């Protein structure tokens, strides 16, 4: 007879998730100490939402009453075809298609519905990059990977190009073994970061990160960093592209993550002449839409300002 864990894992894979794991709910003591220090020293830059409910972030039982098990889920987004980079501005691979929040939400809703059908009294709540849950820490506890020196979750079988979803449930499920780190002496991600945002192993300074600056930063990009973007206008994959574990990455099979024909055809001159109407047509329903037209155009003009310095980083 299949256990609850086996049934849920099988259903998760049927729904298209790449990996599924389980952990016993509890307080993440080590992460709590780091998180408190992180906030006290203001290392979260403009990510002020992290300051809300700090205790809940390290103990899911405070987020969803009765939680006994944390379910970790990964969904691959590594593309079969990389958007052209010659004579072009560069967008992070995770933003090629539909907003991942919505794609994962559909799948987590389907999985929680299945759990309710199988176990009528079961209660659960899903989180996709929203809410006071430390996704990477719990994914590690669920045996799905470890946070590498670039701070991103690395799965030992398929690399780091995965979205993370977390489900909290009052079902008691046999836990998997937590993953341990395997970065060893490798420092390729730290060495190649164009802005030096990876100041220490396993620690990111968001105020220097190209991804943070092109997506979250509202005050504007610091002058001393403007020539280090290597044509990137939304997000950054440099530290992932160089990671040896991403040699194991395989193309995803999620149609929602495919870029539109228009995105595939765009080159620098098209981006520089992008109108607000074109922006709406290209990015409605995508993660890029959330930054808005004005922010994207600022990124484009920043990247275009120093064409000789902004050549694509060699990885």
Reported as a pLDDT band with limits 50, 70 and 90, residue 154 is very high
CA-closest candidate to residue 27, choices 137, 144, 130, 124: 137
Catalytic residue among 59, 129, 170, 176: 129
Average pLDDT score over residue span 98-115: 97
How does pLDDT run across 179-208, given as a tens digit for each residue?
Answer: 999 999 999 999 999 999 999 999 999 999
d(CA 315, CA 301): 24
d(CA 232, CA 226): 11
Q: Whole-number mean pLDDT of the chain? A: 92
- pLDDT, residue 56, reads 82
d(CA 232, CA 210): 8
Is-contact 61 3, C-beta < 8 A? no
d(CA 193, CA 151): 13
Is-contact 67 61, C-beta < 8 A? yes
Chain mean position to CA 223: 27
d(CA 151, CA 125): 26
Helix (H) or strand (E) holding 291: none
pLDDT at 313 over 90: no
Residue 258: Cβ within 10 Å count? 16
Q: Any idea where the domains of the chain sit in the sequence?
A: 4-79+97-169, 188-304
CA-closest candidate to residue 105, choices 117, 113, 97: 113
The verdict on whether 129 is a catalytic residue reads yes
- pLDDT, residue 44, reads 64
pLDDT at 153 over 50: yes
Average pLDDT score over residue span 22-36: 83
Determine phi and psi for 290, rounding to 5 degrees: -70, -25
How does pLDDT run across 268-310, given as a tens digit for each residue?
Answer: 999 999 999 999 999 999 999 999 999 999 999 999 986 555 4
Beta bridge partners of 23: 70
pLDDT at 50 over 80: no
How does pLDDT run across 73-94, given as a tens digit for each residue?
Answer: 999 999 999 999 999 999 999 9
CA-closest candidate to residue 57, choices 44, 45, 46: 44
Determine phi and psi for 192, rounding to 5 degrees: -95, -15
- pLDDT, residue 46, reads 64
pLDDT at 312 over 50: no
Give the rounded percent of residues in the chain with a pLDDT score beyond 70. 91
Q: Which tokens sit at 10?
A: 């099988």
- pLDDT, residue 94, reads 98
How does pLDDT run across 239-279, given as a tens digit for each residue?
Answer: 999 999 999 999 999 999 999 999 999 999 999 999 999 99
Instruction: Report helix, strand or coil for 6.
Output: helix
pLDDT at 49 over 80: no
**Cβ-Cβ contacts under 8 Å for 38 (sequence gap 6 or more):** 44
- pLDDT, residue 314, reads 46
pLDDT at 53 over 80: no
Is-contact 2 11, C-beta < 8 A? no
d(CA 129, CA 289): 17
What's the CA dihedral at 285, 286, 292, 296 to 10 degrees? -150
Q: What is the largest CA-CA distance in the chain?
A: 63
- pLDDT, residue 29, reads 79
């Amino acid at each position: 007879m299949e256990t609850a864990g086996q049934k849920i894992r099988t259903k998760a894979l049927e729904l298209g998730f790449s990996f599924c794991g389980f952990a016993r709910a509890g307080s993440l003591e080590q992460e709590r100490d780091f998180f408190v220090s992180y906030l006290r020293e203001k290392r979260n830059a403009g990510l002020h939402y992290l300051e809300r409910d700090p205790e809940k972030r390290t103990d899911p039982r405070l987020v969803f009453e009765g939680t006994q098990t944390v379910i970790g889920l990964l969904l691959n987004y590594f593309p079969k075809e990389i958007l052209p980079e010659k004579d072009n501005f560069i967008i992070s691979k995770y933003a090629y298609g539909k907003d991942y929040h919505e794609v994962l939400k559909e799948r987590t809703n389907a999985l929680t519905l299945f759990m309710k059908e199988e176990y009528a009294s079961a209660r659960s709540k899903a989180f996709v990059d929203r809410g006071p849950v430390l996704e990477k820490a719990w994914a590690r506890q669920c045996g799905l990977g470890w946070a590498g020196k670039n701070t991103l979750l690395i799965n030992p079988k398929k690399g780091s190009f995965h979205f993370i979803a977390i489900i909290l449930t009052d079902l008691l499920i046999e836990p998997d073994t937590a993953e341990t780190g395997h970065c060893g002496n490798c420092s390729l991600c730290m060495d190649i970061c164009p802005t030096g945002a990876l100041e220490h192993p396993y620690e990111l300074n968001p105020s220097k990160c190209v991804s943070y600056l092109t997506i979250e930063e509202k005050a504007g990009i610091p002058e001393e960093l403007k020539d280090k973007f290597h044509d990137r206008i939304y997000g950054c994959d440099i530290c992932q592209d160089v990671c040896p574990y991403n040699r194991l990455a395989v193309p995803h099979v999620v149609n929602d993550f495919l870029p539109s024909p228009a995105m595939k055809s765009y080159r620098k001159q098209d981006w520089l002449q992008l109108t607000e109407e074109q922006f709406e047509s290209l990015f409605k329903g995508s993660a890029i839409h959330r930054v808005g037209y004005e922010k994207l155009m600022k990124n484009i003009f920043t990247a275009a300002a120093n064409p000789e310095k902004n050549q694509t980083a060699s990885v």
